[in-house]
Amino acid sequence: MMTLNEFRSLFQNGLIKQNTGLVQLLGLCPLLAISNNVVNALSLGLATLLVMAASSGAVSGVRHFVPHEIRIPVFVLIIAALVTVIDLAMNAFVHPLYLVLGIFIPLITTNCIVLARADAFASKNHPLHSVIDAVAMGLGLTLVLVVLGAIRELAGKGTLFSGIDLVFGAAAKSYVLHVLPHYQGFLLAILPPGAFIALGLLIAAHNWNKARAAQRVRAAVPMAA
């Protein structure tokens, strides 16, 4: 079984230490493409999380039956099949949400973070650990996506949560926050260059924070000695 410490360290890895968007820099293509507003970002993040949890669980469940030399094709097969099942099921049973996320779902197959976690973690660990690792990694990705989406949407349009009515129906239109009223907009933030610039700033902030923490530790050691 799993101890609380293991649990905590999986989440620390997924959210901060090994964050896919800020540290591993895996799966940047969807990260950059879909982060032009909060609603898109959150939706894609949660969809990826769902796929990661399902595929890591499945890969971990069959890990003893997969010969080492064909593990990659088998993992790709599992991930592609799961994504297709989720794609079809969403299309059939939550159609309005599918209309928003539809184009992103097949793209999740190509998100290398899914395969990376399947190969680097799920193929060597118990299903429970694997699913939790996938959820933590997915949350880390979602967090970066949402922060990036918020920065770009605020800078680009002066709003937050625009397009939320596409997820929750027309009644949700009033949830859109016009944070900066009469804002003229800053197109660059919404276009692709805005994604690179904002992600660069986020990575810089993360590294700065890490360096400061390391410095504190170094400063603290002599005193403790």
Partner 1 sequence: MSMTDATRNALRTGTVLFLFALVGTAILAFTHDRTEPVITRSQQAEKLALINQVLPASSYDNDLLASRQDLPPDDLLGTRQPSALWIARRGSQVTAVVLEAIAPDGYAGDIALLIGIDIDGKVTGVRVTAHRETPGLGDYVERTKSAWIDQFAGKSLTDPEPKHWKVAKDGGAFDARAGATITPRAVVKAVRSALDYFARHRAAFVAAPPAKEKKA
Residues that bind partner 1 (CB under 8 A): 36, 62, 65-67, 69-70, 73-74, 77-78, 80-81, 84-85, 88-89, 91-93, 95, 99, 156-157, 185, 187, 190-191
Q: Give me the least distance between CB of 62 and partner 1, in Å please.
A: 8
Going by C-alpha positions, the residue among 80, 132, 145, 139 that lies closest to residue 106 is 80
Q: Give CA 17 to chain center in angstroms.
A: 14
Instruction: Identify which of residues 129 and 157 has a Cβ nearer to partner 1 in the complex.
Output: 157
Q: Which is nearer to partner 1, 169 or 185 (CB)?
A: 185
Distance CA 162, CA 107 (A): 23
**Strand pairing category for 159-160 and 177-178:** antiparallel
Q: In this complex, which beta carbon is closest to partner 1, that of residue 13 or of residue 91?
A: 91
Nearest to 143 by CA among 12, 7, 55, 51: 12
Q: Of 72 and 112, which has the nearer Cβ to partner 1?
A: 72
CA separation, residue 218 to residues 79, 181, 211 (Å):
43, 46, 11
Tell the smallest beta-carbon distance from residue 88 to partner 1 (Å): 4
Taking the CA atoms of residue 169, residue 174, residue 176 and residue 178 in that order, the dihedral angle to the nearest 10 degrees is: 160
Cβ neighbours of 137 (radius 10 Å): 31
As measured in angstroms, the least distance from the Cβ of 92 to partner 1 is 4
Q: How far is the CB of 86 from partner 1 (least distance, A)?
A: 9
Residue in the structure block whose two tokens are 């996938």: 134
Shortest spacing between CB 71 and partner 1, in angstroms: 10
CB of 28 to partner 1, least distance (A): 21
Q: With contact defined as beta carbons under 8 Å apart, do 58 and 82 qualify?
A: yes
> Cβ closer to partner 1: 70 or 204?
70
66 or 202: CB nearest partner 1: 66
At residue 178, what are phi and psi to the nearest 5 degrees?
A: -95, 85
